[in-house]
């Protein structure tokens, strides 16, 4: 017995059979003369199965990820020291501890109240170099991932760290809480009754300058001040409301050292956390980072490129949906990594936030990372005159494959430029993008490769974007949202955030960034997601037409865009016929082939007269397919409802039919096709199926 693969030519979708090879050859011969007999070569289990969807949605939650989810980019090592960035970045790493807080990394393994460190102790004098290396060099302990390789990968070698110098350790003159209780109304929760006003930077830099003998801060593009202890952002929840039933249940060891003071403190997003967690420092627009910080690549986005934050407040009502969520470094995608956001307390930071995602197209444009010709730029006004555009887009983790792009943008231009979406009230609609002042759409492809390995899905990412990177989205709890991801599945993801200390399930709010885990669009039918998006006010229709994977496993998608206000000057037409009008079959899964030909004709397209390099994208029509079968006990499945065909060319369409036991002895299979550009251009073909 042999193992064979029968594949749909278009979709590369395969299923396996085990039968003598002569049956396959005999079937091919009969198909060629127009009479295909499909032998009963399927097992009972196979008879009940259609081929799987061509592009199934496979959302993996951050909480369920481990380091086995990391997949390196084929054939590329951005850690290679021989690769020199076009623009270098100089970083000083200055490490400080406190009279009452030694470096966590110097303690015995798992000995501190937070359960850290996760490794054997590092001597104090080696801490500055340890963290400088951890964050900037490929090591076993950081799984080879670091902020230098992040920026080299995302920029394709345009930007990286070229100088990293370590300084310290230095002992700060005041207790750690003097610097940590300086925000969110915490100032008066000090053990000695004083009012905390400290900012770490001034005392840290004074010690550094005294040690070096001069002020060398100007010699660096940024200073990373690593301090002993924790970023409050990574512990306030896990060692506050997730650990204790109420602020009155906090035990002394987690409370203020002064027993007369409350054991809790207020914090940024909620009423309280334990004093020990809340007395740690929050970043607050500085590159001061605790030993659990995994968001330094995010901070460099601020310092090197002036990229603003995108993140919302997911804990305060009225809730406001996240902007980009897990898909961009400048939103809470910077929390991507094994275990997700509730594992950001780990020291050293090798769990949540250890592997941030790439930058979306808008941010890559802002950073100058997109090379000429890599991005297909369209316009809303021109699409009404050019007709449908079709293009291939490669996963953003890699350079675009030949003939493809890193993405597509469509400008919201015209006589009435800008976003025409009617304004709504964010106070009553938590999914509102706020003020409708977006300027263009983007389409890009995410594949779980490289630093995108810890994204929750792979597929097509559609977003609205602003030209201005700054300016809030209006309404209550407004935040900066110059990118707004279009959520293919906008309903509540209905997942547990955590189990409370009393055993209750606390659900993720509608504003939780992980609500966008299932935001990607997918090709084909029955994927679990959507393959198209219509923006009626802006008169645009977006399509995910097909999915492809090359020999190296790199994803690319066929994407299409058209205006709702015009189909262009091209002549539209189609011809649809079955490969055989009558098939004699036996029990089992039956692939039936149809041939669709684009009989339309190209025309002179006035807006493209000075853009001949773009003409190839407008030499297509897009057809919407539907299939049905008439006959008792017959099932039918069409893998894809869309097919894009160039003028004068044809493509095979495979439809799968499955007769149940006891079905009628004859059935009629119908495939219908209609032009998306001109829906009255349509055709239908019929195949008679007989036992």
List, for residues 469-492, the tens digit of each pLDDT value: 999 999 999 999 999 999 999 999
Percent of the chain with pLDDT over 70: 93
Establish if 389 belongs to a structural domain.
yes
Is pLDDT larger for residue 586 or for residue 403? 403
- pLDDT at 159 > cutoff 80: yes
Q: In terms of domains, do 86 and 217 share one? A: yes
Question: Residues 45-69: what's their mean pLDDT?
Answer: 88
Average pLDDT along the chain: 92
Q: In terms of domains, do 524 and 605 share one? A: no
What local confidence, expressed as pLDDT, does residue 644 receive? 98
Q: In terms of domains, do 128 and 172 share one? A: yes
Per-residue pLDDT of 98-152, as tens digits, reads 999 999 999 999 999 999 999 999 999 999 999 999 999 999 999 999 999 999 9
- pLDDT at 230 > cutoff 70: yes
Establish if 613 belongs to a structural domain.
yes
233 token code pair: 């952002």
Q: Which of 528, 563, 598 is the last residue of a domain?
A: 563
Q: In terms of domains, do 517 and 453 share one? A: yes
Establish if 265 belongs to a structural domain.
no
What local confidence, expressed as pLDDT, does residue 11 receive? 37
Q: In terms of domains, do 161 and 86 share one? A: yes
Percent of the chain with pLDDT over 90: 90
Q: How many CB atoms lie under 10 A from the CB of residue 560?
A: 24
What local confidence, expressed as pLDDT, does residue 681 receive? 98
- pLDDT at 26 > cutoff 80: no
Order of all β-strands in the sheet with 389-394: 389-394, 555-563, 540-549, 532-535
Place of tokens 């594992």: 343
Q: What is the domain extent for residue 79? A: 65-233+280-305+325-359
Q: Residue 561 to residues 149, 431, 570: CA-CA distances in angstroms?
A: 35, 24, 16
Establish if 239 belongs to a structural domain.
no
Establish if 248 belongs to a structural domain.
no
Per-residue pLDDT of 186-218, as tens digits, reads 999 999 999 998 889 999 999 999 999 999 999
- pLDDT at 162 > cutoff 50: yes
Establish if 670 belongs to a structural domain.
yes
Establish if 250 belongs to a structural domain.
no
Cis, peptide link before residue 613, omega less than 30° from 0: no
DSSP state of 405: B
DSSP state of 25: H
Per-residue pLDDT of 661-685, as tens digits, reads 889 999 999 999 999 999 999 999 9
Q: Which of 533, 563, 593 is the last residue of a domain?
A: 563
- Give pTM, 2 decimals: 0.91
Establish if 244 belongs to a structural domain.
no
Q: In terms of domains, do 416 and 503 share one? A: yes
Q: In terms of domains, do 386 and 420 share one? A: yes
Here the CATH number for the domain that contains residue 605 is: 2.60.40.2310
Q: In terms of domains, do 468 and 398 share one? A: yes
Q: In terms of domains, do 354 and 381 share one? A: no
Q: What is the spatial distance between Cα 532 and Cα 588, in angstroms, rounded to a whole number?
A: 32
Q: In terms of domains, do 353 and 380 share one? A: no
Q: In terms of domains, do 25 and 167 share one? A: no
Q: In terms of domains, do 329 and 390 share one? A: no
Per the structure, how many domains does the chain have?
3
Q: SS3 for 204?
A: helix
- pLDDT at 15 > cutoff 80: no
Question: Residues 174-188: what's their mean pLDDT?
Answer: 94
- pLDDT at 536 > cutoff 90: yes
Asked which of 19-28, 282-291, 514-523 is least confident by mean pLDDT, the reply is: 19-28
Q: Which of 507, 539, 563 is the last residue of a domain?
A: 563
């Amino acid at each position: 017995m042999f193992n064979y693969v029968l594949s749909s030519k278009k979709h590369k979708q395969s299923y396996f059979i085990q039968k003598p090879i002569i049956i396959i050859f005999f079937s091919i011969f009969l198909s060629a003369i127009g009479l295909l007999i499909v032998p009963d070569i399927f097992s009972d289990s196979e008879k009940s199965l259609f081929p799987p969807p061509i592009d199934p949605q496979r959302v993996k939650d951050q909480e369920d990820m481990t380091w086995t989810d990391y997949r390196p980019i084929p054939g590329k090592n951005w850690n290679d020291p021989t690769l020199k960035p076009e623009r270098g970045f100089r970083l000083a790493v200055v490490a400080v501890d406190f009279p009452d807080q030694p470096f966590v990394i110097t303690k015995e393994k798992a000995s501190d109240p937070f359960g850290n460190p996760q490794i054997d102790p590092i001597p104090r004098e080696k801490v500055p170099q340890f963290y400088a290396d951890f964050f900037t060099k490929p090591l076993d302990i950081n799984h080879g991932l670091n902020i230098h390789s992040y920026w080299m990968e995302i920029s394709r070698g345009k930007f990286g760290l070229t100088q990293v110098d370590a300084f310290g350790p230095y002992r700060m003159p005041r207790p750690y809480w003097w610097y940590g209780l300086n925000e969110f109304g915490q100032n008066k929760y000090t053990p000695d009754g004083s009012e905390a006003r400290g900012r770490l930077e001034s005392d840290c830099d004074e010690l550094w300058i005294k040690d070096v003998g001069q002020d060398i801060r100007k010699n660096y593009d940024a200073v990373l001040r690593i301090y002993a202890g924790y970023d409050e952002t990574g512990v306030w929840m896990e060692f506050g409301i997730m650990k204790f039933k109420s602020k009155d249940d906090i035990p002394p060891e987690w409370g203020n050292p002064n027993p007369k003071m409350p054991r809790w403190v207020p914090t940024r997003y909620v009423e309280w956390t334990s004093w020990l967690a809340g007395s740690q420092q929050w970043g607050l627009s500085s590159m001061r980072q605790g030993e659990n910080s995994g968001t330094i690549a995010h901070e460099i986005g601020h310092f090197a490129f002036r990229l603003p934050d995108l993140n919302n407040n997911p804990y305060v009502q009225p809730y406001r949906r996240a902007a980009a969520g897990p898909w961009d470094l400048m939103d809470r995608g910077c929390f991507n990594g094994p275990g997700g956001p509730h594992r950001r307390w780990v020291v050293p930071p090798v769990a949540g936030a250890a592997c941030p995602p790439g930058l979306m197209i808008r941010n890559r444009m802002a950073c100058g990372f997109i090379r000429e010709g890599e991005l297909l730029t369209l316009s809303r006004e021109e699409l009404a005159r050019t007709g449908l555009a079709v293009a291939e887009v490669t996963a953003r983790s890699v350079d675009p494959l030949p003939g493809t792009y890193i993405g597509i943008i469509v400008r919201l231009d015209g006589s009435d430029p800008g976003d025409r979406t009617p304004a709504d009230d964010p106070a009553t609609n938590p999914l509102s993008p706020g003020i409708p002042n977006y300027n263009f759409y983007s389409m890009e492809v995410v594949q779980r490769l490289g630093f995108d390995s810890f994204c929750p899905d792979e597929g097509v990412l559609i977003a609205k974007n602003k030209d201005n990177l700054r300016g809030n989205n209006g309404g209550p709890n407004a935040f900066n949202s110059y990118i707004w991801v279009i959520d293919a599945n906008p309903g509540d993801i209905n997942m547990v955030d955590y189990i409370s200390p009393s055993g209750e399930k606390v659900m993720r709010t509608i504003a939780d960034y992980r609500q966008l885990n299932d935001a990607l669009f997918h090709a084909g039918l029955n994927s679990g997601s959507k393959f198209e998006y219509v923006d009626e006010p802006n008169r645009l229709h977006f399509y995910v037409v097909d999915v492809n994977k090359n020999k190296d496993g790199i994803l690319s998608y066929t994407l299409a865009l058209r205006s709702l206000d015009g189909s262009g000057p091209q002549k539209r037409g189609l011809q649809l016929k079955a490969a055989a009008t009558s098939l004699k079959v036996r029990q089992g899964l039956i692939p039936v082939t149809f041939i669709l030909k684009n009989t339309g004709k190209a025309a002179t397209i006035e807006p493209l007269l000075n853009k001949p390099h773009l003409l190839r994208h407008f030499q297509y029509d897009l057809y919407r397919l539907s299939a049905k079968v008439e006959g008792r006990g017959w099932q039918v499945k069409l893998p894809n409802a869309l097919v894009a065909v160039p003028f004068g060319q044809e493509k095979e369409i495979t439809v799968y039919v499955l007769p149940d036991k006891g079905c009628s002895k004859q059935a009629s299979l119908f495939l219908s096709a209609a032009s998306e550009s001109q829906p009255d251009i349509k055709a239908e073909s019929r195949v008679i199926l007989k036992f």
